[in-house]
């Protein structure tokens, strides 16, 4: 990992904490003594930090360099590989908010063929490209009901967090997405219509949901990623 990548991982971790409400730019400024404008420029990728500044932020947030490095599994033998063949199974919250998956967030490892993952096409914004691409989550019964029979209770789904476009991955076939609905992760088909993201279930017993897109916000901002694989039986 080079220094630029380390900056990106620190930036994404700070943004994750801000999004979760456990940190703010003003609080970080008080903790480190840096001006809010200085910190804001770093968080918006308009400038880098000196090594001294990075050390102060790490100390203020009780972070270590090791926590920003590619994740190691709980056994200490698994690492984030270039081919992505070992995919961490994580909580819904980690899939939603964690740009980099840390060891404490890994529940188990899903081993997939590297060649198959390498053929999956991404479509991501520049900011999302700094995120660890593939994660998997387990879908509890209450969340699976709306997408039965495509997704069954306790299925494991593979999320491509580098595909956050509403354009179809394959012609004439809707994409299934993991989406952020409030602070909850849910699986739905998604379309954009009249400043709203339309979230559609398969099961007609469940209602279609409309998510308002705030001014200046992209409709893709609620997308966690495209569901690239569904494992209903393991």
pLDDT along the chain (234 residues), means of 10: 76 82 87 90 86 88 74 43 74 89 87 86 82 92 92 94 92 92 88 86 91 76 91 77
Block residue for tokens 């479509």: 123
| DSSP conformational letter for 162 | T
Local structure of 92: helix, strand or coil: helix
CATH code for residues 86-231: 2.10.109.10
Of 144, 87, 78, the residue nearest 116 (C-alpha)? 87
Local structure of 190: helix, strand or coil: strand
CB 108 within 8 A of CB 153: no
CB 176 within 8 A of CB 147: yes
Block residue for tokens 């004439």: 172
Return d(Cα 169, Cα 188) in angstroms, integer.
15
Which pairs count as long-range contacts for 194-200, CB under 8 Å and 24+ apart, including other chains?
197/222
Structure tokens at 82: 């270039």
The confidence score (pLDDT) of residue 78 equals 36
Fold designation for 3-68:
434 Repressor (Amino-terminal Domain) (1.10.260)
Of 151, 188, 178, 217, the residue nearest 95 (C-alpha)? 178
Domain-wise residue ranges, the chain: 3-68, 86-231
Q: At what angle do helices 36-43 and 3-20 cross, to 10 degrees?
A: 110
Structure tokens at 203: 């099961």
As to burial, measured by CB atoms within 10 angstroms (0-12 exposed, 13-18 middle, 19+ buried), residue 159 is: buried
| DSSP conformational letter for 52 | H
Q: What is the length of the chain? A: 234
pTM surpassing 0.75?
Answer: no
């Amino acid at each position: 990992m080079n220094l630029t990548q380390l900056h990106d991982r620190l930036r994404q971790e700070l943004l994750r904490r801000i999004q979760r409400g456990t940190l703010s730019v003003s609080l970080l400024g008080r903790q480190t003594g840096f001006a809010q404008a200085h910190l804001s420029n770093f968080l918006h990728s308009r400038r880098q930090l000196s090594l001294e500044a990075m050390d102060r932020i790490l100390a203020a947030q009780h972070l270590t360099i090791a926590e920003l490095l590619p994740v190691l599994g709980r056994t200490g033998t698994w690492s984030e590989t270039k081919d992505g063949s070992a995919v961490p199974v994580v909580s819904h919250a980690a899939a939603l908010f964690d740009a980099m998956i840390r060891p404490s967030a890994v529940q188990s490892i899903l081993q997939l063929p590297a060649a198959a993952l390498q053929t999956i096409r991404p479509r991501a914004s520049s900011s999302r490209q700094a995120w660890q691409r593939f994660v998997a989550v387990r879908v509890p019964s209450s969340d699976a009901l709306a997408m039965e029979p495509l997704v069954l209770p306790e299925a494991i789904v593979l999320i491509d967090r580098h595909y956050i476009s509403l354009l179809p991955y394959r012609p004439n076939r809707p994409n299934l997405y993991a989406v952020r609905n409030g602070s909850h992760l849910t699986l739905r088909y998604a379309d954009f219509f009249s400043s709203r993201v339309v979230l559609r279930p398969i099961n007609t017993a469940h209602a279609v949901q409309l998510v308002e897109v705030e001014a200046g916000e992209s409709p893709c901002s609620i997308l966690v990623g495209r569901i690239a694989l569904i494992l209903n039986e393991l």
